Amino acid sequence: MSKHSLPILVVEDDVSLREAIGDTLELAGRSYVAVDGGEAALRVLGEQAFSIVVSDVRMMPMDGITLLKEIRSRLPHLPVLLMTAYAEVEKAVDAMRSGACDFLLKPFEPKALLAHINKYELLTSENSAGVISSDPASRDLFNMAQRVAQTDATVLLTGESGVGKEVVARFIHHNSARQNGPFVAINCAAIPDSLLEATLFGYEKGAFTGAQQAQAGKFEQAQDGTLLLDEVTEMPMALQAKLLRVLQEREVERVGGRKPVALNIRIIATSNRDMAAAVDKGGFREDLFYRLNVFPVAIPALRERPLDILPIARHFLLEHGARFARIGVKLSDAAERILLAYAWPGNVRELENVIQRALILSSGTLIEPQQLSLSPRAVEPVRAPPVEASSADGVIRSESMKDIERQHILRALDEVGGSRKLAIERLGISERTLRYKLQQYREEGFFKD
C-alpha cells in the first residue's frame, strides 16, 4: 500500500509513452489516472483530487502550456510537472514562468521521473493535512508551520473561529518527528467543567460515582504524539493550575490516582480570543499563557487571504460533491464573483457550509449565485433577520439542530432583556458555555452586543 493518499494524473497523447509512465508508477506502488489530452485532464480534475499532474508539452488540440495555464487558474496549489523534448526548451522556460513546478527533458530514466514527483508533490501529500495555500499570506503561514514542526516547541495558534486552527495543528503534527504517533484533540469549551478534568487527566476506578473502571485521559492517549488543546482560554481557572503543573513537570496524575505517568507529547493550544487581554482581565493565568506561548502563530482570517477563497471552495465542491453523489458540479463565473466579494465572518467553516448548502439546492452542473444565499457586499455581510423559533403554523423553520439551539439561546437572552445571568439560569448552562456560544454567533453575524 502506498503511503500517498492521492493519485497522480498523467496527461500524454502518445499511447506507448503513456503506458510506460503508468508502468513506472505502478512498479513504484503509486496510484495514477492516465488520460490522452488536456480536455480529458480538466474533466477528471473537476471530479477528483490529485497530488501532482505530469503532462507532455506537445499535444493536440490543447498543448501542455495551455493545460498548465488552465490548471493554474482553477487549482493554483496543484503542482504540474511538464515533459518536453530538448528542442522545446524555450517552451519549458515559458512553462516555468506560467507556474510549472519543473520540467523533464525526454528521454528520461524512470528514477528521474519518480524523483521529480517525490520532490514536488510534497505540498499535496498526506503530510500537508489537506492544506490549501494559494494566497501569499497562507503560504507564509504554512512555511512558518513547517519550520516549527521540525522542533518540539509548544505552539499557540490564534485566530477567529473557523479559520482552520485544527488544520494548521494537524499540518504541524504530520510534518514533525511525531507524525507516526497519535494526534489527539480536545475542545476545552465543548466539555462541561465537571467532566473536563477527568477527560484531560483520566481517572482511576472508583475515583467518583460512575467510575467503574480506570480510563486514560487525553494526555496519556497522546503519548509519543501531539495533544491539541482547542479553545484553551475557555478552561476554568482551577483547572488551569493543574494544566500548568502537567506542562512544567511533564507528567500527569489521574483523578483518584497516586502514581504520576511520565509524558512524551507535543502540546499545541488554540484560542479565538485575545489571550493577552484575557490575562489582563484575570480570566487566564499569566504563567500558563507564557508556558503555552512559546511559539505563537496568528492565522489570518479568510478575508485576509482572498486568493485562497476559490481554491478552497473548489476543494469543498470535490469533497462534498462526491459525498452527495454530485460529481462534476462547478461554480458559475457569477457565483465565483459573489464568493470573492463576501466578507466571510465565519471564515473557512462558513465557506464549507455555503458550498454544502449550494450542492443541495442546485439541480444542474453549475452553481449559480442564488444557490449560495450570500450578499455580494464585501465589508458588511447580510445579517440574519430577528430569529423566530416558530412560524404561524407552529413548525420550526430551521436547517439543523445547531440553528435550533442558536434560536433558543438568543430568544432566551432577548426575553430576559439581555441579562446573561438570567439567561444562564433559564437555559441551565454555565456562564462559560454561554460566552463561547455568543462569541460564535457574533463571528457568524447572528449576534451583536
Instruction: Please list, in sequence order, all residues whose beta carbon lies within 8 angstroms of the beta carbon of residue 332, skipping any fewer than 6 positions away.
Output: 366, 367, 368, 369
Task: Give the pLDDT score at 138.
Answer: 85
Q: Where are the domains of the chain?
A: 8-128, 136-298, 304-372, 383-449
User: What b/e sequence results for 417-444 when a residue is b if at least 16 CB atoms lie within 10 Å of its CB, and e otherwise?
Assistant: eeeeeebbeebebeebbbbbbbbbbebb
Digit-coded pLDDT (tens) for 153-189 = 999 999 999 999 999 999 999 889 999 999 999 999 8
State the cell numbers at 384.
Answer: 440574519
- Kindly state the average pLDDT of the residues 427-440: 78
Write the class of the CATH domain 383-449.
mainly alpha
Give me the pLDDT at residue 396, please.
31
Question: What integer pLDDT is reported at residue 258 of this predicted model?
Answer: 80
The mean of the pLDDT values for the chain is 83
Show the cell assigned to 18: 503513456
- Asked if pLDDT for residue 111 goes beyond 50, the answer is yes
Name the CATH architecture for the domain at 136-298: 3-Layer(aba) Sandwich (3.40)
Pairing of strands 183-187, 202-203: unpaired
What does the alpha-carbon distance between residue 96 and residue 62 come to, in Å, rounded to a whole number?
Answer: 18
Residue 247 C-alpha cell reads as: 506542562
pLDDT at 383: 36
Q: Tell me if 8-128 shares its fold with 136-298.
A: yes
Residues 246-256 pLDDT 10s: 999 999 988 88
Which range is least confidently modeled, 383-397, 401-415, 434-448?
383-397
324-341 per-position pLDDT tens digit: 878 778 899 999 999 999
The larger pLDDT score, comparing residue 92 to residue 441, is at: 441
| Alpha carbon distance 211, 190 (integer Å) | 21
Report, at the CATH architecture level, how domain 8-128 is classified: 3-Layer(aba) Sandwich (3.40)
CA 267 to CA 262: how far, in whole Å?
Answer: 14
**Whole-model pTM?**
0.61
Render pLDDT for 204-246 as a digit per residue (tens, 0 to 9).
887 677 767 878 889 999 999 999 999 999 999 989 999 999 9
Confidence grade of residue 315 (pLDDT, cut at 50, 70, 90):
confident
CATH of 304-372 given 2.160.20.10, 3.40.50.300, 1.10.8.60, 3.30.465.10? 1.10.8.60
pLDDT tens for 368-400 read: 999 998 865 443 433 333 333 333 333 333 344
In what order do the strands lie in the sheet containing 155-158?
183-187, 226-230, 266-271, 155-158, 295-298
What pLDDT score was predicted for residue 425? 77
